[in-house]
Amino acid sequence: MSFLASTNLVAYHQSLLQDRERMGAYRRAVHEVVRPGDVVVDLGAGSGALSLFACQAGARRVYAIESGDAIELAREMSRRHGLQDRIVLVNERSYRARIDEPVDVIVTETFWNFGFGEGMLGAVLDARRRFLREEGRIVPAAFESWLAPADMPQLYAKLDRWPDEYELDMSLMRSLVMNNVHQVKVETEALMAEPARFAQMDMCEVEEADVFGEVEFAASRAGTIHGLVGWFSATLSPSVRLATAPPNPAPNWGHAFFPLDEPVRVERGDRLEASVRSTSNGDVWSWELHLAGESVSGSRFTNSTLWGFPFSVEDLHRQSPRFKPTLSQAGEIERFVLDMLDGTRELSEIEESARERFPETFPSREVAAAYVRRMVARCA
Ligand SMILES: C[S@@+](CC[C@H](N)C(=O)[O-])C[C@H]1O[C@@H](n2cnc3c(N)ncnc32)[C@H](O)[C@@H]1O
């Protein structure tokens, strides 16, 4: 790992561990839900804080699943707490992890600013189906996502500030910015209507990783709407809640800001209909706002992170379920080398064969050796 990557990783986990609201809530919840002798999965273990809480609560064994380099933090943390025999580290995406005993509790803190997103629901669903025993428990037990229209002129001005002295057409960048979800801090005064609950999930019941929700608002005052803001409220355990509604007490999370293409003026009482949809397991977000008040009747805004980057037509085509992929040259090389990892050949023979077969990719023995050894470290 590079110096920069390790610095960023440490800073990220520092901010997580210093967030008292988050840590306190999770500790109370884990102590409430985990019983002595339980087997626990910590999905997205990071530095291992929740695994350690589970051990404090009496877990017999904790499987700490972490796909990233943070697994090394979890390793050292469990060693420093003398818990390396009870915490089993699994350095995999949870989808690839295997657990060979029934699990009593799954704990996870993989919340995005809007609750689900960034693959959280899909990962929990998969872990629940494959690992959790019947009547098993999940922390968080449930969560809700909330939405409200917001009047945020300063934020919008910052997003929409395009210098014209360079004589460059910035319209592409503007359109991309307006089709991305931004992390912001919203003050309560910025909300233009009573917040509405957009989604509600019980983690032991939810079956879909993609979510669609529609809500209605009535503008509580005259003002300008610049976008929708979202946050979450989680029931971690029967008596522990963690909520990030404005003003947000948990500094680790921001609020999700879904901008409109243009700010729109509304009068008190104007009716607004909003919908938000997540697809691809929380990777793609689309939002729509329809204004039905007299002053703004018919205005409709439709935005999506699909338009938040100028993907090539080919990229989009490749996302289609009907796409029939063929191996690229990189894939051919990978398959060639993988086929040779059959326990009968020495590294030097594999390296030489790869160089002979793909001389343009491997102009020297050293280049072939570096490639093959990386593959061996990953797959053999
Ligand atoms: C917000 S951090 C939480 C870390 C730790 N549980 C805590 O509470 O301090 C989420 C971690 O989950 C990991 N993660 C997210 N999805 C994962 C998955 N499907 N499989 C394995 N690790 C995952 C990320 O790499 C990240 O380190």
Handedness of CA 102, 104, 106, 107 (dihedral sign): negative
Residue 28 CA to ligand 1 center (angstroms) comes to 19
The answer, yes or no, to whether any atom of ligand 1 lies below 6 A from the CB of 110, is: yes
pLDDT score for 254: 92
- Nearest residue CA, atom 15 of ligand 1? 44
Does residue 52 surpass a pLDDT of 70? yes
pTM as predicted: 0.86
Q: Which of 10, 16, 67 to mutate to test the pocket of ligand 1 (most atoms within 8 A of CB)?
A: 67
The answer, yes or no, to whether any atom of ligand 1 lies below 6 A from the CB of 16, is: yes
The answer, yes or no, to whether any atom of ligand 1 lies below 6 A from the CB of 192, is: no
How far is Cα 112 from Cα 278, in angstroms, rounded to an integer? 13
The answer, yes or no, to whether any atom of ligand 1 lies below 6 A from the CB of 51, is: no
pLDDT score for 304: 95
pLDDT score for 296: 65
Atom of ligand 1 nearest to the CA of 22: 8
- Active site (annotated) includes residue 72: no
143-313: CATH homologous superfamily? Answer: Hnrnp arginine n-methyltransferase1 (2.70.160.11)
pLDDT score for 297: 64
The answer, yes or no, to whether any atom of ligand 1 lies below 6 A from the CB of 73, is: no
Does residue 144 surpass a pLDDT of 90? yes
pLDDT score for 46: 97
Which stretch of 214-228, 314-328, 358-372 has the lowest confidence by average pLDDT? 314-328
- Active site (annotated) includes residue 118: yes
Q: For residue 278, give every residue at least 6 positions away whose Cβ sits within 8 Å of its Cβ, in sequence order, or none.
A: 116, 117, 210, 211, 212, 284, 285, 286
Q: Which of 21, 32, 72, 118 is catalytic?
A: 118
Domain definitions of the chain by residue range:
3-109, 143-313, 329-379
Q: What fold, for 3-109?
A: Rossmann fold (3.40.50)
Average pLDDT (187-197) is 96
* H or E stretch covering 25: helix 20-33
Asked whether the domain spanning 143-313 has the same topology as the one spanning 3-109, the reply is no
